Amino acid sequence: MRSISELMSLKGRVALVTGGAGHIGRAIAHTYAELGAAVVVLDRTGSAAESVAQKLTETYGVLATALHIDLADEASVRKVPQRVVETCGRLDIVVNNAAFVGTDGLEGWTAPVEDQSIETWRQALEVNLTAPFLLVQQAIPFLKASGKGAVINVGSIYGVLGPDWRLYDDATVAGTPAAYGASKGGLMQMTRWLATALAPHVRVNGIVPGGVERNTPEEFRRKYVSRTPLNRMAREEDMKGIAAFLASDLSAYITGQCIMVDGGWSAW
């Protein structure tokens, strides 16, 4: 029987993390590098993907590289898994973390529902849902060849639950739009669908974060915390354990699960 440290090790594996220069993506990338994996940090042009990859190599001594990709560009997304294999030799772990979020400043995004743009809706579904499906689809041969293939889709509590609009009534924080919730909900159902379709060769699971504290206005934070059994908002660090668990052999008999990391928000 293997030890916990042996089950947790990712040495010899290659992980692709989309949105890897963002807050949660960066935490996940550091987690995998610390566990010994080579990491490909995928993010859009103008992001800090290069500096994140450099930091991973400097800190953990692993191979790390950056890919600048527009996830709305189908042709570019199709080529990603092959590019990872050409650079790193294999592909074992795919983390679909990138998404349009509340801070993206898109026209007709964080607006009253009557004013939410259909064009922006389409863009959000393309990046948040279609690109993850296409990326996994193109990665299937490599994930199967791995023998340890794992897909991890990062969702949101608002892909599982409706938003509590009482949190947003003072307008200090904008609520998430319908397209965000719909795309994240679709991502979690896609997780279950792919888990059965790709079994037994590839495991597919989801992480469902609660609200993450990040320069959060005090009034919003107070109201959010009052609704959370663990009496605080999430931190990026809270995603590291579940990311390690789902990518490694610690979860070798787990697939099709969407695990809430929300401080108990969904337990009321």
Catalytically active residues are 180
Q: How many CB atoms lie within 10 A of CB 100?
A: 22
Q: How many CB atoms lie within 10 A of CB 212?
A: 16
Structure tokens at 137: 């689809």
Beta bridge mates, 17: 41, 95
How do beta strands 93-96 and 14-18 pair?
A: parallel
Is the N-terminal amide bond of 200 cis, ω within 30° of 0?
A: yes
Q: 16-51: buried (b, 16+ CB within 10 Å) or exposed (e) per residue? A: bbbbbbbebbbbbbbbbbebebbbbbbbbeebbbbe
